[in-house]
Amino acid sequence: MKIIVAPHAGFCFGVERAIELAEEAANFTREGKKVYTFGPLIHNPQEIDRLKKLGVKVLESENQLDNTTVLILRSHGIPPQKERELKAKGVKIIDATCPYVKAVHEAVVKLVNEGYFIVLVGEKNHPEVLGTWGYLKDSNGEGIIVETLEDLKPALNKQKVGVIAQTTQNEQFFKEVVGELAVWVQELKVINTICNATSVRQEEVRELAPKVDVMIIIGGKNSGNTTRLYKIAKSLNPNSYHIETPEELKEEWFENAKTVGVSAGASTPKWIIEKVLQRLEEIGKTLKV
């Protein structure tokens, strides 16, 4: 059984940076400080558990915060009003917001200042989208969050519309939104804020999934970018599966399979990918016998 791994499977730059900042922050525990992340640092439960063992915990209540606290802002970013509130509590802030997410914040403020009604293409309850929406509100902007084409209706009668996207959005859907708006809106300004890491991973899955007998996508079930990779794979290959850990792999998936494709979301650590690959090799040897 041949295993083909997508070249860019796993951590992207922003996630890698956030993890490094968290590992460095763990050293503050030696000084008697409490180290927390404001929400899960990334969308991968296994990596969050690993950080917890290093002393970096997810904040459960803001009542835990005081001047002995080190607080890491998650890679997804937070609303500016919330950041101001946290700083006012006297905690030490380490900002692990992905630089590409910060670029979305800058884009939304720019569009608001230029008088555009904002269309934010993304998941309404995703922390990154909520953070970006906070920057829109902080700038006194108006807009909508678009998950489906039906959500676009309030924007179709606007004269000036600016479009941005959650960094991990599906490129195809983003194009559909822009295409629909172009028909209805007098002035349309598009800032493509889908990060390159997302685009590359999605393109690799589009290329790999149809060519293999089975496609495995590794990553947190709560990870938006991983879920989108799985949906792309499933649309091209019905024998596609989304797993978090190697224990979820089932031997019957691979009966008569000669090739297996593997990719992983941008928040999936290398150590989990390696464990999955090891298990796949074991399954391959078992099926040979």
Catalytic residues, by residue number, are 128
- CA separation for the pair 250, 113 (Å, rounded): 53
- Residue 134 token pair: 């906070």
- 117-121: strand order across its sheet: 143-146, 117-121, 160-165, 187-190
Give 124's contacts (C-beta < 8 A, 6+ positions apart). 145, 147
214-218: strand order across its sheet:
2-5, 259-264, 214-218, 240-243
Specify burial of residue 108 (Cβ count, 10 A radius: 0-12, 13-18, 19+).
Answer: buried
Write out the DSSP string of 194-221. Answer: --HHHHHHHHHHHHHGGGSSEEEEES-T
**What 3-state DSSP class applies to 272?**
helix
